[in-house]
């Protein structure tokens, strides 16, 4: 028996929708500011990648943001374009000006935030939600209600908020772990409890302060969440949000759950967003990092050459990528021999060992991998020396 996650069960038959909020929460990352053209380009690559819901910005920020969101709507991007609103009719009016068809009306839901930010209690929050949510519905908008700070809120109050949201025709409640206070067990328990009390769509919105955003999102989906907030490369407030690429690939790889995301597009999407955000993608970033299918260690390279399955669970082809082998300090003889054979250079066992020793020295002195040209130079030096010695 193994504990490997098996691709089976209910998730295979459930349709999970990823609501990409790169253009709203992603852009809230410190220093990130997209131009209108960048927003439209990002929306277009998200569409190409199969994303069907895009939270495109905060219309209340003013006419520049309204016109950037409107540009996305007018570009005819085939996804539902959502505007993020506070609990204010004026925010909904700005969203209407931007042309979106759906709004996310955000209600601080913990007692702490209600008192500290808005100076109101639960009753007033429920009343305002009905007033603003109803206003948005009356104007023909689809409405999701965002429970900001849900993870620090009283669950009974969340149930009341969800009931109030439903009473005015909202279709969805977003459970936000605004400050990353949940672990996967708690995410599962919270979302299970809310799903047991409503038939509204439930969206989970995780943050990554503890590096748990993806794990929490998967747990919430297992518990019954129908939607998940994601951002490209996890861009977002502080440590960011659950990365689109991680959630989409983990759902497919672990549970066979198809989100409709075109996995082979994820690398392009990540590159475009990273460029527009002036961020670099770490080489080891899950799914889209340049090095996540690159191998140096001798034991791994040897194993992969004998049978890919020995060191490969995630097939790079699923992502339109391929394995790459590099030579470096941790290379073994089989990797060196294979490379020299590809370069049509003959080598004795003794020479291979001498070449490997020099490669290790070179890697330490120069850092990074050792390129094939350098391996050839080393081979020539070692080969010439053994010819001389043999003479
Ligand atoms: C967890 C999250 O990600 S929440 C989303 C955060 N996103 C943003 O902040 C987007 C960028 N923000 C902005 O451009 C500006 O903050 C604006 C346009 C939204 C508001 O600007 P300002 O009017 O200058 O307000 P300011 O930013 O100083 O303060 C926020 C105001 O929103 C209020 N507010 C915060 N959340 C809510 C809410 N859900 N519903 C109603 N009001 C809210 C605060 O109480 C405060 O109001 P006050 O000025 O009457 O005290
Ligand atoms: O209320 C919401 O829509 C969620 C807002 C948000 O980004 C968060 O709480 O982290």
Domains of the chain as residue ranges with CATH? 10-277 (3.20.20.70), 294-390 (no CATH)
For the whole model, what pTM was predicted?
A: 0.96
Cα(276)–Cα(273) distance, rounded to whole angstroms? 5
**Predicted confidence (pLDDT) per residue in 173-188, tens digit:** 999 999 999 999 999 9
Residue 8: predicted pLDDT: 62
Residue 290: name the closest of 240, 361, 375, 233 by CA: 233
Q: Please report which confidence band the pLDDT of residue 5 belongs to, taking 50, 70 and 90 as the band edges.
A: confident
Placement of tokens 């989906």 in the chain? 221
Residue 9 has pLDDT above 80, yes or no: no
DSSP-derived pairing of the beta strands 201-206 and 227-230: parallel
Contacts of 326 (CB under 8 A, 6+ apart): 294, 295, 296, 369, 370
**Which residue's alpha carbon is at the smallest distance from atom 11 of ligand 1?**
61
Calculate how far, in angstroms, residue 145's C-alpha sits from the geometric centre of ligand 2. 10
State the average pLDDT over residues 207-218: 98
- Taking the CA of residue 29 as centre, how many other CA atoms within 13 Å lie in the half-sphere pointing to its CB? 26
Calculate how far, in angstroms, residue 54's C-alpha sits from the geometric centre of ligand 1. 21
Name the helix (H) or strand (E) containing 176. strand 172-177
**Which residue's alpha carbon is at the smallest distance from atom 10 of ligand 2?**
178
Q: Which ligand is nearest to the CA of 148?
A: 2
Ligand 2 binding pocket mutation candidate from 58, 84, 208 (most atoms within 8 A of CB) = 84
Cα(112)–Cα(98) distance, rounded to whole angstroms? 32
**Predicted confidence (pLDDT) per residue in 310-368, tens digit:** 999 999 999 999 999 999 999 999 999 999 999 999 999 999 999 999 999 999 999 98
And the tokens for 31? Answer: 């220093």
- Asked if 149 and 109 touch (Cβ cutoff 8 Å), the reply is yes
**Which residue's alpha carbon is at the smallest distance from atom 46 of ligand 1?**
117
- Asked if 321 and 267 touch (Cβ cutoff 8 Å), the reply is yes
Q: Is 60 in the pocket of ligand 1 (CB under 6 A)?
A: yes
Cα(133)–Cα(85) distance, rounded to whole angstroms? 10
And the tokens for 369? Answer: 């991998």
Residue 304: predicted pLDDT: 97
Residue 284: predicted pLDDT: 98
Neighbours of 375 (CB within 10 A): 21
**Which residue's alpha carbon is at the smallest distance from atom 8 of ligand 2?**
178
Q: Which atom in ligand 2 lies closest to the alpha carbon of residue 147?
A: 1
Q: Percent helix, strand and coil across the chain, each rounded to 5?
A: 50, 15, 35
Calculate how far, in angstroms, residue 60's C-alpha sits from the geometric centre of ligand 1. 9
Calculate how far, in angstroms, residue 205's C-alpha sits from the geometric centre of ligand 2. 7
In sign, the C-alpha dihedral spanning 162, 128, 133, 153 is: negative
Cα(282)–Cα(101) distance, rounded to whole angstroms? 36
Cα(379)–Cα(350) distance, rounded to whole angstroms? 12
Determine the 3-state secondary structure of 55 from DSSP: strand
Q: Please report which confidence band the pLDDT of residue 7 belongs to, taking 50, 70 and 90 as the band edges.
A: low
Task: Classify the complex by whether its ipTM is higher than 0.90, answering yes or no.
Answer: yes
Residue 388 has pLDDT above 90, yes or no: no
Residue 150 has pLDDT above 90, yes or no: yes
The CA–CA distances, whole Å, from 196 to 10, 189, 224, 225, 324 equal 17, 11, 9, 11, 47
Q: Which atom in ligand 1 lies closest to the alpha carbon of residue 149?
A: 1
Cα(315)–Cα(320) distance, rounded to whole angstroms? 9
Calculate how far, in angstroms, residue 107's C-alpha sits from the geometric centre of ligand 2. 9
Ligand 2 binding pocket mutation candidate from 92, 107, 125, 176 (most atoms within 8 A of CB) = 176
Q: Which residues line ligand 2 (CB under 6 A)?
A: 25, 104, 106, 146, 148, 174, 176, 178, 205, 207
């Amino acid at each position: 028996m193994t504990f490997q996650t098996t691709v089976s069960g209910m998730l295979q038959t459930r349709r999970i929708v990823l609501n990409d909020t790169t253009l709203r929460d992603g852009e809230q990352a410190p220093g990130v500011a997209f131009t209108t053209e960048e927003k439209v380009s990002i929306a277009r690559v998200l569409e190409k990648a199969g994303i069907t819901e895009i939270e495109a910005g905060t219309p209340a920020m003013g006419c520049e943001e309204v016109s950037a969101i409107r540009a996305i709507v007018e570009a005819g991007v085939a996804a539902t374009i959502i505007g993020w609103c506070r609990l204010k009719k004026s925010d909904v009016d700005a969203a209407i000006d931007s042309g979106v068809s759906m709004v996310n009306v955000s209600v601080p839901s913990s007692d702490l935030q209600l008192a500290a930010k808005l100076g109101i209690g639960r009753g007033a929050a429920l009343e305002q939600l009905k007033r603003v949510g109803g206003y948005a519905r009356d104007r023909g908008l689809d409405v999701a209600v965002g429970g900001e700070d849900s993870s620090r809120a009283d669950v009974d109050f969340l149930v009341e908020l969800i009931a109030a949201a439903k009473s005015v025709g909202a279709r969805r409640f977003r459970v936000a772990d605004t400050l990353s206070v949940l672990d996967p067990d708690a995410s599962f328990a919270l979302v299970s409890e809310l799903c047991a009390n409503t038939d509204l769509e439930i969206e989970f919105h995780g943050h990554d302060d503890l590096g748990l955003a993806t794990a929490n999102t998967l747990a919430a989906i297992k518990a019954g969440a129908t939607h998940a907030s994601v951002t490209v490369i996890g861009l977002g407030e502080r440590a960011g949000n659950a990365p689109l690429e991680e959630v989409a690939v983990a759902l497919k790889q672990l549970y066979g759950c198809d989100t409709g995301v075109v996995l082979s597009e994820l690398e392009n999407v990540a590159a475009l967003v990273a460029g527009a955000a002036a961020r670099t993608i770490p080489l080891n970033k899950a799914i889209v990092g340049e090095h996540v299918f690159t191998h140096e260690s001798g034991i791994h390279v040897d194993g992969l050459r004998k049978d890919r399955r020995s060191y490969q669970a995630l097939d790079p082809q699923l992502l339109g990528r391929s394995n790459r082998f590099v030579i470096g300090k941790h290379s073994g003889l089989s990797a060196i021999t294979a490379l020299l054979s590809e370069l049509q250079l003959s080598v004795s066992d003794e020479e291979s060992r001498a070449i490997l020793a020099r490669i290790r020295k070179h890697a330490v002195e120069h850092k990074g991998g050792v390129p094939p040209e350098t391996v050839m130079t080393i081979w020539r030096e070692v080969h010439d020396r053994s010819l001389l010695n043999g003479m």
